[in-house]
A and B are shown apart, each in its own frame.
Chain A
């Protein structure tokens, strides 16, 4: 790989041990993939900062870069952690202490307070054509699909290396020629809400590994497209879609495609049945916010539940929001009001990367990403449901 003089010195350790480790990792991964050089990035977003996910090995990897003197060289943010941001611990056994060590190492290296998987909505909006190094699979797909920014699916440790180096390997979706749709998925039916857009994404991810799908379908809004992206990035390795009417890089259906697929509501209903492993009446809680909901969602949710279930819910609902909003007075106020109705807000974390789910066996959710990981990672049974269906089931 070609390196500039500065990069060569950094690689050889002339600017410190942490940067040398970071450069060696970036160059090694880049060379494996066939990259010819590195490229500056405007924003790094790292995944893999929940102690529940990465354990002692990951903690020591992150902490070692910090103790070696690592400092970020570009705007850098991080994913949800395993605990409520600045809040209560979720269990004993040193979990909280180790999670805080990870957060403190990131802060020490110059990361911006974040604890969210939607950096594009609450921290910094990506610009069209700019280069990023993001390591949160849902955010990667959203950045490429909805903002026309350019990032590969960076592994958590590689994104961390990119933060310290301020650059990543120039390969894959950073290049024009790799950003064209390769397969076409046509859905005919009513506009897809968050749940059904997620089901479509889940199918697309499973069917089209390594492809860039052109999605010709109606959606109820951008949140539904985010749900599609998150699901496809979980059930598959989708890093980018071109979505009709939503993607800045939409130039119409491609004339040539490796495959074409036509789907109807019935296909999505069948997939919903396949993914659900319980009945809504068995659900012990409802979970929404994977990816995180922006804080504005809380007021909408409060208005909805106050109207549909003024006496509250018999079973709880959990909502994840960005950690950066934890101290917002309006968020605290609406969170207290929601809690009185049985809805609990989790700032800066989520059900997948924390240990909040440990006492539950059946979870209802409108998140296909959560529906993919909760059974696999935690042995939880899931049932797919909209918020409205759950509220109707459990209102007092």
Chain B
């Protein structure tokens, strides 16, 4: 399955899809030492994070930077809404960033590869 997306931060990443159908506060809702998204209890390190967008504190991008320094950043991020905090978090963590109008159009699980070459991006999903 191949899905065309809008591309924002260039790069390629591969991993299991981690689907979070909400807005995420990187500060407070993500453990900066483990990358665990607390409301889900699942780490985002090495995953393709699919999320509605970012909310909360402007300190959040420092959390993503700290994860990057530990090698615990996601392999890629796909969001409905690209705001200054998500843009900064992706740039600081060298994480490929793409967007789609509604994340409900994406599969919620499976192994995926995200290839971002702004202004477009491609998501390849292997459901098996």
- Chains A and B belong together in one complex: yes
Kindly report which residue of chain A lies nearest to residue B60, judged by CB atoms.
Answer: A155
Is B34 an interface position by the 8 A CB rule?
no
In the assembled complex, A289 has its CB within 8 A of some CB on chain B: no
Question: In the complex, are the beta carbons of B89 and A155 less than 8 A apart?
Answer: yes
| Known contacts A58-B66, A210-B81; A158 and B23 CB within 8 A of each other | no
Task: Give the Cβ gap from A102 to chain B, nearest Cβ, in Å.
Answer: 12
- Set of chain A residues within 8 Å of B54, measured between Cβ atoms: 237
Query: A61 — which chain B residues lie within 8 A by C-beta?
Result: 62, 65
Chain A residues near B88 (CB, 8 Å)? 25, 29, 154-155, 157-158
Task: Report whether A47 and B55 are in contact in the complex, using a CB–CB cutoff of 8 Å.
Answer: no
Which listed residue, A53, A157, A205, touches B55 by the CB 8 Å rule?
A205
- With a cutoff of 8 Å between Cβ atoms, the chain B residues found around residue A135 in the complex are 58
Q: Is there an interface contact between A48 and B84, defined as CB atoms closer than 8 Å?
A: no
Interface residue range, chain A: 35 or more
A377 B58 Cβ-Cβ under 8 A: no
Q: Give CA–CA (A32, B91) in the complex, Å.
A: 9
Q: How many residues of B contact A (CB 8 A)?
A: 38
Contact with A along B5-29 (1 / 0, CB 8 A): 0001100000000000001010111
* Chain A at the B interface: SS class: helix
A36 to chain B, nearest CB (A): 15
* Complex contacts, B62 vs chain A, CB 8 Å: 48, 53-54, 57-58, 61, 155-157
Interface residues of B in 28-46 (CB under 8 A from A): 28-29, 32, 38
Asked if A157 and B92 sit within 8 Å, CB to CB, the answer is yes
A25-B91, A53-B62 known; A32 and B55 CB under 8 Å?
no
Cα–Cα distance between A155 and B26 once the two chains are bound (Å): 11
Q: Does B101 contact A (CB under 8 A)?
A: no
Tell yes or no: B90 within 8 A of A by CB: yes
Q: Is B87 an interface residue (CB 8 A)?
A: yes
Contact status of A153 and B65, CB under 8 A, knowing A209-B23, A237-B83: no
A120 within 8 A of B: no
- Evaluate whether A373 and B28 lie within 8 angstroms (CB atoms) in the complex, with A54-B59, A237-B23 already known: yes
A-B contact pairs, 15 of them (CB 8 A): A48-B61, A57-B68, A136-B58, A137-B56, A137-B57, A154-B84, A155-B62, A155-B89, A156-B59, A157-B61, A158-B84, A209-B52, A209-B53, A236-B55, A372-B28
Going nearest first, the 8 A-B pairs with the smallest beta carbon separation are A155-B88, A376-B28, A57-B66, A155-B61, A32-B87, A48-B59, A377-B28, A57-B69
